[in-house]
């Protein structure tokens, strides 16, 4: 069923205005059930969420494209709303009237054990707390055929509004799982036959190899650290290899998302 909304204060629009902490709590994101909601912004992201089997609560869209979504939304038990450009512009808070925006139930989390067992190329995010970076890394990973993301408890939510928007919904093509301890996740990767390559711009007490010189046979995991601090001490100590990207004089580093794109391609 398609329902027309003509009042910007209609309570059925409330969820579209919620902030991340209202959609899902930190505790919910960490639980195996991954309870709560996420918002997909833009018609392409909504389509990709539906194609991935995510369950919609409600989708708000332009009347001209309502039929694109209504059948899939109805079959999943959700509701399709249509509204004017002015109402959609106000609801998104982005200043633009997106053709579609959807509120979805969060899918159950994959365990880190299962993701490692099912994968041959993984990216480990250690304190990557900017959602734009997480979204960009996810888009790169999906485009280059990497299998998934392992994220520590401080890394940004891949299903946050901004992360999904930046990833263009390609996050749904990846597996992702949370881990509590960098030491434990690296040990588990090593036990499962993964080479772990930590990307760092600085010379450490250990040898750092130029990325162009690294050739991995078999399973591999790329380890990425925070924008400011870089890799954690545990990562620097435990990675199979440390690698850097050659910089021009006067430039010390790249944004972590840009560096990840270069490294993901180099390590294919």
C-alpha–C-alpha distance, residues 135 and 46, integer Å? 15
The beta strand positions in the chain, using DSSP E, are: 2-4, 37-41, 56-61, 79-82, 100-105, 121-125, 148-152, 175-179, 195-199, 208-210, 220-224, 241-244
For residue 44, the domain's CATH number is 3.30.1330.30
As for how many domains the chain has, the answer is 2
pLDDT for 29 beyond 70: no
Reported as a single tens digit per residue, the pLDDT across 141-159 is 999 999 999 999 999 999 9
Q: Residue 205: which pLDDT band, with cuts at 50, 70 and 90?
A: low
The residue from 105, 139, 174 where one domain ends is 105
pLDDT for 17 beyond 90: yes
Whole-structure pTM value: 0.94
Mean pLDDT of the chain: 94
pLDDT for 93 beyond 90: no
pLDDT for 181 beyond 80: yes
pLDDT score, position 166: 98
3-state secondary structure of 177: strand
Same domain, yes or no: 94 and 121: no
Same domain, yes or no: 89 and 208: no
Same domain, yes or no: 101 and 117: no
Same domain, yes or no: 155 and 226: yes
For residue 226, the domain's CATH number is 3.40.1280.10
C-alpha–C-alpha distance, residues 137 and 255, integer Å? 11
Same domain, yes or no: 147 and 219: yes
- In degrees, to the nearest 5, what angle opens at C-alpha 198 toward C-alphas 154 and 251? 95
Same domain, yes or no: 67 and 153: no
In which domain, by residue range, is 86 found? Answer: 2-105
Q: Residue 31: which pLDDT band, with cuts at 50, 70 and 90?
A: low
Same domain, yes or no: 117 and 100: no
C-alpha–C-alpha distance, residues 58 and 16, integer Å? 9
Same domain, yes or no: 209 and 247: yes
Largest pairwise CA distance in the chain: 64
The residue from 105, 124, 148 where one domain ends is 105
Sign of CA dihedral 7, 13, 14, 16: negative
Same domain, yes or no: 52 and 135: no
pLDDT score, position 119: 99
Same domain, yes or no: 242 and 156: yes
pLDDT score, position 30: 62
Same domain, yes or no: 11 and 129: no
Reported as a single tens digit per residue, the pLDDT across 105-131 is 999 889 999 999 999 999 999 999 999
Same domain, yes or no: 100 and 167: no
């Amino acid at each position: 069923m398609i329902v027309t909304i003509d009042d910007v204060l209609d309570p059925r629009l409330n969820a579209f205005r919620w902030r991340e902490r209202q959609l899902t709590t930190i505790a919910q994101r960490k639980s195996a059930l991954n309870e709560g909601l996420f918002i997909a912004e833009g018609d392409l992201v909504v389509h990709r969420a539906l194609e991935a089997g995510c369950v919609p609560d409600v989708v708000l869209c332009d009347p001209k494209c309502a039929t694109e979504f209504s059948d899939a939304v109805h079959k999943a038990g959700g509701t399709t709303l249509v509204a004017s450009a002015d109402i959609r512009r106000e609801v998104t808070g982005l200043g633009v009237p997106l053709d579609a925006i959807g509120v979805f139930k969060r899918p159950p989390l994959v365990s880190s054990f299962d993701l490692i067992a099912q994968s041959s190329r993984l990216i480990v995010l250690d304190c990557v707390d900017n959602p734009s970076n997480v979204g960009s890394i996810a888009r790169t990973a999906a485009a280059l055929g990497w299998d998934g993301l392992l994220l520590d408890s401080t890394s940004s939510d891949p299903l946050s509004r901004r992360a999904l928007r930046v990833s263009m919904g390609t996050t749904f093509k990846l597996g992702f799982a949370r881990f509590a301890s960098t030491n434990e996740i690296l040990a588990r990767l090593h036990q499962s036959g993964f080479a772990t390559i930590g990307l760092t711009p600085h010379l450490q007490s250990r040898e750092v190899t130029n990325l162009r010189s690294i050739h991995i046979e078999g399973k591999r995991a790329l380890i990425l650290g925070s924008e400011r601090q870089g890799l954690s001490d545990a990562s620097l100590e435990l990675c199979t290899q440390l690698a850097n990207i050659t910089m021009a004089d006067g430039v010390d580093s790249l944004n972590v998302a840009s560096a990840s794109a270069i490294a993901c391609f180099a390590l294919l």
